[in-house]
Structures are given as C-alpha cells and as structure tokens.
Amino acid sequence: MKIYNTLTKTKEEFKPRDPAGKKVQMFVCGPTVYDHSHIGHARTYVFFDVVAKYLRYRGYKVTYLMNITDIEDRIIDRAQRDGKSVKELVRIFEKSFLEDTKALKIDSVNKYTRATGYIKQIVKQVETLLEKGHAYKIDGDGYYFDLSTFPDYGKLAHRTANQAEDAISRIDESVNKKNKGDFTLWKFSKPNEPSWKSSLGTGRPGWHIEDTAITDYHFGSQYDLHGGAVDLVFPHHEAEIAQQESASGKKPFVKYWLHPGFLTVKEQKMSKSLGNFITIKDALKNYSPETIRFMVLSNYYRSPLDYNDSVVNQSQAAVQRIAEFIQKLSLANGNNDFEISDYRRKFEEAMDDDFNTARVIALIFDLTRKVNSMLVDNSLNRNSAKKIRKFLQNINSVLGIIPAKQEKIPDSITKLIQKREELRQENNYEEADKIRAQIEDRGYQVDDTVYGSLVTKK
C-alpha cells in the first residue's frame, strides 16, 4: 500500500509507527464553526472518511480524531454581528456540521475534539516552547512562536518564512513580531471576548496551537497520518510541525501528510460575493448523499474538482445505474458462473495506490457492462449474482455510493428510455427526440450523461 506524502512529495509505502503494524493514529483538521459547511468541506471530509474506512477494511485499527475549532477571530466577529454569545454561535454551527456529516454518511470519526476542551494542554505546550526558547512575549498582545529558532520551517510546503505574508491562510499580524511569519500561540484577552485565566495570563489560544495540543494529548508527540484541505498546508500545517517538533525535539511530527485538491464552482473559487457559495445543506436539497460522494470519489483526490451541473448530473446518473444493476442481479437464473476474484484484486490494487477511487469507479462500470450482457441473455447463475452483490457491498462499505433506496421509475418510462437509447445508437436522432418528448409529456426529464440517461421526475 502506497500513499502520496505531501512532506516528501513522493508515494511511500504505508508503514504505521506501531511496532506490530496494526494500529493507525489519524487526525484531520475539522471546521472552524462560524458558518454552515460548504461542498468544499464535503470533498475533504468524504475523502478522509474513505481513507479511514479503507484502512479498517485492510485490517488496521484506526483511531480517527477530528478537531472542531470553536474559538477564533472569525467566530468572535460573527457572534458580535449576530448579537449572540460565542458559545451560542459555535453550538449552532457545530450542530449544523455534525448534521451534514451524518447526512453524507461520514461516520468513521472516533472522536470530535473541541479546541476549548484542551486549554490546559494548550497552555502547557506554550510553556514548553517558552522554556526551550522557541517563543516570546509581546506585551499587550500575546505569545508568539519565534521562527528563527526552527530552520526547518517550510519543509512541508517547500516555502520559506520570508514568504509567509502571501499565505492563503490566516497569518497573525503585529508590528512587534521578531520575524515576518511568527504566529500567535496565546492571545491576551480583549474586552467582550472569551478568555481563560492561566499562567500565561488571561487570554485565548492561537489557531495553530490547538491541533498540536490535542494530538499530543491523545497520540503523543508523533503519530501516523495527518490530513486536511490543501489550503492548510501553509501556514497552518507548517506551523503545527514547527510547534510540535520544537516542543518535543522529535522528528517527524507526522509520518504521512495527505491533502485533497481544491474544489471550484463552475471553474471559479467559491465565494459569497460571487453568488456561488454552496452549502452542503443546499446541495443535499437537490442531490442524494450518494451522488455527492460519487462526485467527490470519481475524481482523483489530489486533482482539482469542479462542481457544476454536468458533473453532478453525471454522478446522479451513475448512482442510478449502479442501483439498477444491483436490482437486476436479483433476477439472475442462468447456468453460467462469473469469476469476481480478479475484480476484488483490482479494487484493492487501486485503493492501495494512494486511494485511487477514480480507478475503482471505472472498475465498477467495467463489471456492470460485462455482467449486464449475461443478465440480458439470462446466462448468469444465482450464486455468481450473490457473490457480485456481496463484492459491491464490500466496496460500498468503503465508498458509500450505493443508495439504500432508489426512486422507482415506471416500467413504461423505462421501456421508452431503452427504446430511445437503441435509436440513438442507430443515429436515428429524429425518432429518439420524439420518444424524449413522450417521456417529458409523462412528467419525467431526461439528461444524457457519460453514464447513460439520467431520468428524474420534473
């Protein structure tokens, strides 16, 4: 099994730190809960759900933690704008996030860890960094990490500290910082902001220190796998490395780093100002969770993914095809076997190759094409159909793309769709269009996709 490691920029054989090679410690950066989660979050969290589930499928005992950032500047700003307390606001959006993950069948996380539940551990880590000379105090401001004490800064993103000011993510600004990229560890309290009393003074944690305090408490100073969206590589994950390796003196902090690529909407960065900000809740009003998961997983996770009507409709059609295929398997009553072992091997080979779910999707449709021909001439026997169904269930336990229930399309409409497909294959588009009109007159809509016709009620 090989995983692409952002740290080394190469695919590496996956070998957990556990001497027995069975236990895997996995941490993924969760949401900052100041708004509803969007489909970019869906891409990230669906992918890591699959990672955890596949590792367990392969026999690893995975402990999967995800943090929830429930104290941060944007949370405070939103709470003040909405006239709510910070606690009230974060509970609203934390609940929303957990509803979204449940709806998307993301159920592999062992524990969600709120940042504010680890203040004691955060303070302790800042104290350690101070004692070792890696942090300094700015009066009236807070404690900062001194990047000049950590020459390795930038090794994850292959950037230098001098480039810090053009970062995509949050950078802490202070005219009194020693170095451009120095970041906050502990912020002194301001009026009307949440704060905690501590040996550091009354204040609240910086953003980066939350995650390392959490993982150090649960996993120790080193662990196996850390994931998050690609925009967190710099400076967030870079800062995590600097903090933890400076505090513990041990390298590497994390053995494998995984980062899914960006998601755009109609080839534009998602933004409320552009009117293309799509929440998970909004997406699920129009599409099933299986459709959203298929869309995410039909694309190699490190490649960019564009969310548009064509892509989502294709995903919806694909999910329909798979569900229809599984239903057809129950009709098998022939005499011929179908050997499934080669497909099982190819499934594991694809997933072992850096979680290549796109190859698995292609494999599923290769299987359906070959078996469908046996179902058409009624040559597939029941035992083989049972094995195929079980194989697809095993894949689905990892990918989560097969719906438990499928909307029933009337037989009369199904027959018209089949007739239209035959006419299209014969290039008789005039007659095919007439049948399409009949289908639409009966209250159904037809969209043509690479996975066949998508049929939905108007």
pLDDT of residue 173: 67
Q: What percent of the chain is predicted at pLDDT more than 70? A: 95
Mean pLDDT of 301-312: 94
β partners of residue 336: 380
198 has pLDDT over 50: yes
Over residues 113-129, the pLDDT tens digits come to 999 999 999 999 999 99
Overall average pLDDT of the 296-323 stretch? 94
Per the annotation, does 272 bind a ligand?
yes
Q: How confident is the model at residue 271 (pLDDT cuts 50, 70, 90)?
A: confident
* pLDDT confidence tier of residue 168, bands split at 50, 70 and 90: very low
How does residue 160 score in pLDDT terms, banded at 50, 70 and 90? low
The pLDDT value recorded for residue 162 is: 55
Model confidence over 352-370: pLDDT tens digits?
999 999 999 999 999 999 9
* pTM confidence score: 0.90
Residue 457 has pLDDT above 80, yes or no: no
Q: Mind listing the pLDDT tens digit for each residue in 251-266?
A: 999 999 999 999 999 8
Please give the average per-residue pLDDT across 297-302, as a whole number.
97
Q: What is the pLDDT of residue 356?
A: 98
Reported as a single tens digit per residue, the pLDDT across 139-153 is 999 999 999 999 999
CA–CA separation, 240 and 222 (whole Å): 12
> What's the pLDDT at 435?
87
Residue 218 near residue 65 (C-beta atoms within 8 A)? yes
- The per-residue pLDDT for 170 is 47
pLDDT at position 327:
85
How high does pLDDT run on average in the chain?
Answer: 92
pLDDT value of position 406: 67
With a cut of 50, say whether residue 166 has pLDDT above it: no
